[in-house]
Amino acid sequence: MNRASFFSPQAGRIIEAPRKARARFAIGDIVRHKSHDFRGVVFDIDPVFANSEEWYESIPAELRPLREQPFYHLLAESDDSSYVAYVSQQNLLEDGDGGPVDHPSITQIFDDFADGHYQIRRGMAH
């Protein structure tokens, strides 16, 4: 398989990833977790798992997601807090609500919210 590599600050190492990883969601999309009660806006995507081993091992084995799938960095919100989440593609659904996400960092990364999607600020895309 044709592979690419990238440095992951979270993992502190080079990550090997397939060149043709298929992300279901895009930066600016609003998503909802399948089993936990939170939603968020995608602000970055890793083509495969690229966080620390400690983070991965902290997930109970029966719930641990596959590594070889896209993982999404989210500005997330629940009923009582805002935070940054790192979630596998298998655990996300498109958010049917369609409303904006209430996270204090939204305006640092995104400009407009329209048609259920955020537009990334100029100069923020890599």
Residue ranges making up the domain that contains 105: 3-120
Q: Which of 46, 78, 51, 47 is nearest to 64 (CA)?
A: 51
Is 93 a domain residue? yes
CATH number of the domain where residue 69 is located: 2.30.30.390
Is 113 a domain residue? yes
Q: What local confidence, expressed as pLDDT, does residue 68 receive? A: 87
Is 45 a domain residue? yes
Q: What local confidence, expressed as pLDDT, does residue 2 receive? A: 60
Is 76 a domain residue? yes
Is 126 a domain residue? no
> What pTM was estimated for this model as a whole?
0.82
Q: What local confidence, expressed as pLDDT, does residue 17 receive? A: 61
Q: What is the mean pLDDT of each run of 10 residues along the chain (126 residues)?
A: 62 63 90 95 92 93 92 95 96 88 94 90 71
**Number of domain units in the chain:** 1
Q: What local confidence, expressed as pLDDT, does residue 78 receive? A: 93
Q: What local confidence, expressed as pLDDT, does residue 123 receive? A: 73
